[in-house]
Structure 1
Amino acid sequence: MTGVDRVKLTMITDNYVDMLLPDLPNVTRTGLAHHFDPKTKCVTGENGIALHVEVSWGRYTYRALFDTGMSSEVLLHNMKILELESNSIDHIVLSHGHPDHYGGLLGLLESREAPVPVSVHPEAFAPRYLRLASGQVAPYFNYGLTKDSIGERGGLVVEHVEPLEIGPGLIATGPIPREVDFENAPTDLTAPNALLHIVNGKIQPDVVPDDQALVIEIGEDGIIILAGCSHAGIINTINYAKKITGRSRVVGVFGGFHLGFPGSPRVKTEKTIDALREANVEVIAPSHCTGMEAIMEIGRAFPDNFLLNVTGTAITLTAGTDPVPDLDAAAR
């Protein structure tokens, strides 16, 4: 089946804001003029991620939202500046049940005039805990994410544990097989900075089984992969996206690679870079939980394919064209 003709991805929310970044031929930013103009307001960064997805084929358009950032205040503020309407969103996908990915959901639903599907793995609603190396504990930090709270605000909860087509060329992967050895999640209850959750009344290591990605089929053979935090591993995610679509050309990978989490070994970043090179990814845009150090390393490793995808960045990818941003164009 042929994929969509055109994809526009807009980073509504990310950890970083940089008003000095220039536009590129297929990339627009909220730049310095917008930042200084007293008639406008600036986009705001926060520890979270929200990606607006607009796919087009022929004269038709479909819009999805992948994750909702940490807060509705920042999400709705940035959407207004970026001229994105909450009522125009056709489907919402949550990558997993952590608050930096679902935090803006309830406020977004309240801002809408009509119901909207919200696709999520059922494990996203399980009570979760975080224990830091200092001994500090964040108990039940995802208490705000419930089926009732979503439904009361017009969200139509769609629970799934298999790949789910949410729109034309758009596939929510469901749980991602963990096969790459260097991407295995820690399972030690006593480990510092441990993620924990409750299963059958017992506290267990939380390997985030609900982690999923959004895959976009573009053109005859391409896929674009959106990752929230890649708790399953970004390479596992790429491999699974290829498997469920039957496509091998990776036009782009966008989102969190989970290389910046406390305790993540440097060798994991090095092995990820090697695997990204082997996968021949055309546009590499790490953000959010990738961590600034790993983002810089990836940028140095892929100078011709790397995109710094901060808050307010929009990239348009068109079937049948070279997707790689012309990084030298801004200097001409």
Structure 2
Amino acid sequence: MAPALACTRVTRDANGAETPRIEAPVVDRLVMQVVLDGAHDVFISGAQVPGIRIERTRLMRGERYQRTLKSEWGLSLHLEAQAGPETRRYLLDFGYTPEALNNNLDLLGIDLAAIDALILSHGHYDHMGGLLGFLARHRDAMREDLRLYLGGEDAFCYRHAPAGNGAFADAGVLDRRALAAARVRPVLSEAPLAIDRHAFTTGAIPRAGIERVLPNTFVEFGVRDGAGCDPALYRNHHFTPAELSGQPQPDQHLHEHATCFHVRGRGLVVITSCGHAGIINSVRRARQVSGAEKVYALAGGFHLAPAPDDYLARVMAELKALDVQHVFPMHCSGANFLEAAKREIPQALVLCTTGSRFTFEA
């Protein structure tokens, strides 16, 4: 089945600024399964939240009692959305290692042959490290016309981690040649995009508020050794001489995107994965491009672990003003965010762990 992609139109806000808009699909049901996160808590509360069914994966039983879910620094989510008689399934991000990802997919009983498409939030290794090993093991069982949705060319850049004294260590690269060898077709879009009449992406997220990209990796713009990102393929970015020098620059995640669903009668579910562009910016962008105002849930990594106290306090104040009904912090959100959420928005906070499964229904 060919992918159903909604056309993007452009509107203008009250200040005359252009805002891309799409006809965001509406689903009747969304199931979000945490395939891989930083911890597996077998004692985590199974308490229910009105309007959301919460299921926790405890220890394995029967013949599998000697195996357990693996957790690591990374994130992977299985998403199943139903609209009328149609159901679509996606795997969003792939954790740090294929060993942990493949182990958990097996134990959770996820039908990989039924996956309709793959989505990558951005080009960090803790979100893409398991991808090629996952494909090596499972590609032949999956649909032939397998697509990988990405926010833009930025996902293919070489990335580097500071190693001290001005030196850098290799932090990985997503190689187009490896995807081609695995018969996976990348679909890049800096504009918002509707996928299969079920999901939609925000496209590039403007940095319009108080949030900034907190320190993380460095990025290298350019192509070498057959891999990397091509500055000529970016849509609306004017590169500086420093950025074009081939030397690592602070990573701004120019085209990291959020994956979203509009659940009928509930509102938007916005999944930030890492949220380097800012969780407030991500939510506002999802509302702008979809035209839906109500945000039912914000989920994923919020990248607030390295946030200074004053910065976190400002983000929390903005989050409270957005009136998001449910908040599901994962991955890089940080113990500091969890403590602040318990104090500031306890009624909205839903704890997550590897194996947790959340169902949103109209």
Q: What is aligned with 1:241?
A: 286
Conserved in 1, the CA contact under 8 Å of 2:204 and 2:254?
yes
- Counterpart CA distance in 2 for 1:8 and 1:150 is 27
2:31 is aligned to: 8
Q: How many residues align?
A: 307
Q: Which aligned runs of 4 or more in structure 1 are off by greater than 4 angstroms? A: 35-38, 132-136
User: Whole-Å Cα distance in 2 between the matches of residues 265 and 298 of structure 1?
Assistant: 15
Matched, 1:84 2:110: yes
Question: How many Å separate the matches in 1 of 2:217 and 2:359?
Answer: 38
Separation in structure 1 between the aligned mates of residue 72 and residue 118 of structure 2, nearest angstrom: 20
Output one character per residue of 1:15-39: Cα deviation in whole Å (capped at 9) or x when no partner. 11111013234101112xx257673
For 1:327, the equivalent position in structure 2 comes to none
Question: Secondary structure at the residue paired with 2:26?
Answer: coil
Whether contact under 8 Å (1:53, 1:64) holds in the other structure is: yes
Residue 184 in structure 1 maps to residue 178 in structure 2: no
Aligned to 2:148: 118
- 1:17 is matched by which residue type in structure 2? H
Q: Distance in 2 between matches of 1:290 and 1:247?
A: 25
Q: Distance in 2 between matches of 1:194 and 1:142?
A: 11
Map 1:86-101 → 2, pairs under 5 A: 86-101=112-127
TM-score of the aligned structures, taking structure 1 as reference length: 0.87
- Which amino acid letter does the alignment assign opposite residue 278 of structure 1? A
Contact preservation (8 Å) 1:109, 1:155: no
| TM-score, structure 2 normalization | 0.80
User: Matches of residues 147-166 of structure 1 in structure 2 within 5 Å?
Assistant: 147-166=176-195
Secondary structure of the structure 1 residue equivalent to 2:64 = coil
Matching residue within 164, 169, 180 for 1:138: 169
For 1:200, the aligned partner's letter is L
Alpha-carbon distance, 1:291 to partner:
1.3
1:17 counterpart = 2:40: yes
Paired residue secondary structure (1:312): coil
Task: Determine if contact 1:19/1:35 at 8 Å carries over to the other structure.
Answer: no
Match of 1:215 in 2: 260
Partner of 2:328: 285
Aligned twin of 1:273: 316
RMSD: 2.0
Contact 1:3–1:220 (CA under 8 A) maintained in structure 2: no
In the other structure, the counterpart of 2:240 is none
Quickly say closer, same or farther: Cα 1:307–1:133, change in 2 above 3 A: farther
Task: Give the one of 138, 161, 167 matched to 2:196.
Answer: 167
Q: Which amino acid aligns with 1:259?
A: L
Which of 201, 204, 209 does residue 245 from structure 2 map onto?
Answer: 201
**CA-to-partner distance for each residue in 1:70-121, whole Å, 9 max, x for gaps?**
1111111111111112221111111100000111111222212233100112
Name the counterpart of 1:326.
none
Q: Give the counterpart letter for 1:170 in structure 2.
A: A
Deviation at 1:296, TM superposition (A): 2.5
